[in-house]
């Protein structure tokens, strides 16, 4: 059940990030940094929500590491799902979780 809840939450986060990306892609955003900042904020919200649902207290710096990774991968053209998957894996390894 825990895995199912986590999977559903992940899918909702991905859909929400895709929705935000489409909206902001259609508007004139003057700088890439503005979009990256928005994507990072959404990532942090999703990360914190997922940790709370899983009743896990992440190590200090894990959310920043994970979301910086996510923004970087997406800006390189990775799909949202692949970026999320790879960054979760890297964070899990780095923070021994």
Residue, of 33 and 40, whose pLDDT is higher = 40
- Find out whether 35 and 13 touch, Cβ atoms under 8 Å: no
Residue, of 46 and 30, whose pLDDT is higher = 46
What does the pLDDT read at residue 84?
A: 93
Alpha carbons 39 and 13: distance in angstroms, whole number: 11
pLDDT in tens, 58-78: 999 999 999 999 999 998 999
How many CB atoms are closer than 10 A to CB 61?
Answer: 11
Provide DSSP, 35-68: HHHHHHHHHHHHHHHHHHHTT--PPTTHHHHHHH
What does the pLDDT read at residue 29?
A: 47
Q: Tokens 């979780």 appear where?
A: 97
pLDDT in tens, 35-61: 888 889 999 999 999 999 999 999 999
pTM of the model as a whole: 0.68
């Amino acid at each position: 059940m825990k895995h199912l809840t986590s999977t559903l939450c992940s899918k909702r986060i991905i859909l929400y990030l895709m929705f935000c990306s489409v909206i902001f892609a259609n508007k004139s955003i003057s700088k890439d940094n503005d979009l990256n900042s928005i994507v990072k904020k959404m990532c942090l919200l999703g990360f914190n929500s997922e940790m709370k649902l899983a009743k896990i207290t992440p190590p200090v710096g894990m959310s920043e590491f994970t979301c910086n990774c996510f923004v970087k991968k997406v800006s390189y053209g990775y799909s949202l799902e692949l970026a999320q998957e790879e960054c979760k894996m890297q964070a899990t390894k780095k923070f021994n979780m």
